[in-house]
Structure 1
Amino acid sequence: MKIRYKNLDNVTNKQSIMQVYKWMKKKKKMSRSYYIQHHSAIDKHFLRQNNSKTTITWIGHSTFLIQMGKTNIITDPVYANSMGIRKRLTKPGIPFAELPPIDIVLISHAHYDHLNFPTIKRIGQNAQYLLPIGLKALFERKQYHHSTELAWWDSKRLNGIEFTFVPAQHWTRRTLFDTNTSHWGGWIIKNGASGETVYFAGDSGYFKGFELIGKRFSIDYALLPIGAYEPVSIMKIAHMSPEEAVKSFIDLKAASFIPMHYGTFKLADDTPEEALLRLKAEWKRQKLDEAELKILLLGETLIL
């Protein structure tokens, strides 16, 4: 019998067929008047040559290039032009051909907008793949043998960097028959030499796990999702609103917040413009330091 993984609080994202049907029937059309812009001064040469500075570059959706300790890390790499019938709204921040060689790939969960095998194929079999428990067999079948699966709170040290798989509140499915047969979560990425720590949250609803993660790790940069939250009746368990993302940042006690998971694919009724406006409004309402909110353009690199 297959293992079916659960959330910390055993909450589930089960929706009736009728609920989903009614939503799809009334689904809002997205305004095309606002797009996330590309950074005007992308230094691709720097990214290919960099072997000393820690950097975070937003490629789009949940895909980041993180350079740390002479190691090139990519999170949830998706260079697909569409997600099913949903066309990509913006081009990736860095063209695939201009990426530096990727050493380590982090996967948060198996949903198609986070695990895209055509992109994995382009990265190749020589990279190390760090996976949620339950996914290794799929990678092995596809001949990616340099893969390690981790359960929540498990760690793996590679190239002097400690990677810890941490909880998220979500679910997963790739076929009609594999619902929740692999886990979901985020990744703590800690530089063993400098102690710099980046938290990549993956996909998550708001839950008590953020406070637990914040108690275990001193986080410098939290990469948190702010999109795909409407309608709330359908999305709340698995996706945070911008206000909940700010609350999670406070729970984490992180030093800086980088928003993600918005503006690349239309996955729900909310828009990227609305997500950013609500994020900024909540940031101001909570009287947080403006310098701690790092809203990146596509292809923009933050040097730590």
Structure 2
Amino acid sequence: TIVTEMDMANDYAQKGFKVEGPNYGGTVHFDWGDVKIIPAWHTTANAPLGMATGLALTIEGKLIYIAGDTGLFSDMKLVGRKQQIDLAFLPIGDYYTMGPDDAAYAASLIDAKKVIPYHFNTFPPIKQDVNDFWKDVPENMKFTAEIDKPFEL
């Protein structure tokens, strides 16, 4: 099942995929946890495919926030207002999303227990030194996942 915002879900459904398409603030409940659609600030070249989104996943009582392709915005702090975010993924690419400095500020704004930077170094416009992010993130929030190494929150 693909969970995405309503407009993109409709497009995938027409192509034969099984989808769930809530709008901003909407939640889909599964046996394994919940997926909530969260706003993200980013342009969309194909407007029929809908608005940019992030996700709040609740799995086994843990809250995981994936900010999506987004710039910094103050409402990010609302994601963890009811429950502290256990793990947040924040983009740091800077050209199309927030950069390392804004992402580090976002980390403090959302007060997640752990953060992981993403959406950088995949092509030249978003080349970043991840240390520019880490230098401004509180030590207790720093987390580095390793490929093929399971971890617990």
**One-letter code of the match for 1:266?**
F
* Aligned pairs (5 A) from 1:64-75: none
The TM-score, its normalising length taken from structure 2, stands at 0.88
Is the alpha carbon distance of 1:267 and 1:205 closer, same or farther for their aligned partners in structure 2, counting shifts above 3 Å?
Answer: farther
- CA deviations over 1:138-174 (Å, ceiling 9, x no partner): 1122211x2011111101100141111111111212x
- CA deviations over 1:81-117 (Å, ceiling 9, x no partner): xxxxxxxxxxxxxxxxxxxxxxxxxxxxxxxxxxxxx
- 2:145 aligns to what? 296
Q: CA deviation at 1:280?
A: 2.1
Is the alpha carbon distance of 1:172 and 1:257 closer, same or farther for their aligned partners in structure 2, counting shifts above 3 Å?
Answer: same
Q: 2:57 aligns with which of 189, 195, 204?
A: 189
Q: 2:127 aligns with which of 256, 259, 271?
A: 271
Hey, what's the Cα distance between the residues in 2 that align with 1:181 and 1:267? 26
SS for the counterpart of 1:240 is coil
- Kindly tell me the number of residue pairs found equivalent between the two proteins: 153
Q: CA deviation at 1:296?
A: 2.8
- 1:143 aligns to what? 16
* Aligned pairs (5 A) from 1:33-48: none
* Aligned pairs (5 A) from 1:197-212: 197-212=63-78
- CA deviations over 1:112-147 (Å, ceiling 9, x no partner): xxxxxxxxxxxxxxxx11011211221122211x20
Hey, what's the Cα distance between the residues in 1 that align with 2:21 and 2:68? 16
- 2:25 aligns to what? 153
CA RMSD of aligned residues (A): 1.9
- CA deviations over 1:49-73 (Å, ceiling 9, x no partner): xxxxxxxxxxxxxxxxxxxxxxxxx
Q: CA deviation at 1:213?
A: 1.7
Is the alpha carbon distance of 1:293 and 1:253 closer, same or farther for their aligned partners in structure 2, counting shifts above 3 Å?
Answer: same
- Alpha-carbon contact 1:171-1:180 (below 8 Å) kept: no
Establish whether residue 282 from structure 1 lines up as the match of residue 150 from structure 2: no
**One-letter code of the match for 2:116?**
I
Return 5+ residue gaps in structure 2 as ranges: none
- 1:246 aligns to what? 104
SS for the counterpart of 2:88 is strand
SS for the counterpart of 2:135 is helix
Hey, what's the Cα distance between the residues in 2 that align with 1:142 and 1:254? 37
Return 5+ residue gaps in structure 1 as ranges: 1-127
The TM-score, its normalising length taken from structure 1, stands at 0.47
Q: CA deviation at 1:240?
A: 0.6
SS for the counterpart of 2:34 is strand
Q: Which has the larger radius of gyration?
A: 1
Hey, what's the Cα distance between the residues in 2 that align with 1:267 and 1:172? 21
SS for the counterpart of 1:249 is helix
- CA deviations over 1:216-238 (Å, ceiling 9, x no partner): 442100111111x14xxxx4xxx
